[in-house]
Amino acid sequence: MKYLHKNKGFTLIEVLVSIVLLGLITLFVASTIYQTKINNKLFQDKIKKNSRNEIFLNVLYNDISQSSNLSINNYKRYSIISFSSNNSVYGISHPYVTWLVLKKENSIARFESARKITLPIKSDMQKYTYMDIVQKNCEYFQVNLSKNKKQILVFIKNKKQKPYIFEVNKL
């Protein structure tokens, strides 16, 4: 009698080859997932940074466009602007606002108060004044008023960033 045996299993070589292929596929998928996570983190950080910049520019634009009694003091690379405004971050009715660049880290700061702001801010005024650091590493912060006093040109340049230039038409 002749016995025919049909092999219903895999040889050792076939099993080893399939394990190696599965390992290579797993390695490729894992490295792709890791790289995707890194790219996603970089993208999220960039979105946050752009969002902060957009908020800062919107507040500055709204402050200037709704200002009255605008005072601009220009220096070599920086301007100090002071005014009363209808725009308030802290819910103050018709606040006094001052924008300037601080020496510490060349930070652009926004001061808001119910009382007129005089520089330097005295200790008795500190409790009535809110201060926000809105940008760091500022190289230029220039604000210029047109001859007809209807338009205001704002130029802001921070280290390692493209400059922001915009014009504000006074209301």
Cis peptide, bond prior to residue 95, ω within 30 of zero:
no
In a domain, 20, yes or no: no
Beta strand 138-145 pairing with 164-169: unpaired
In a domain, 37, yes or no: no
In a domain, 135, yes or no: yes
Which residue in 139, 136, 142, 144 sits closest to 157, CA to CA? Answer: 139
For the chain, the domain total comes to 1
In a domain, 5, yes or no: no
In a domain, 27, yes or no: no
pLDDT per position as a tens digit, 88-114: 989 899 999 999 999 888 999 999 999
Domain that holds residue 108: 49-169
Residue with tokens 């930070």: 107
Beta-carbon contacts of residue 81 (< 8 Å; ≥ 6 apart): 64, 70, 71, 72, 73, 98, 99, 100, 143
pLDDT per position as a tens digit, 24-68: 999 999 998 899 888 888 888 777 777 777 888 888 998 998 888
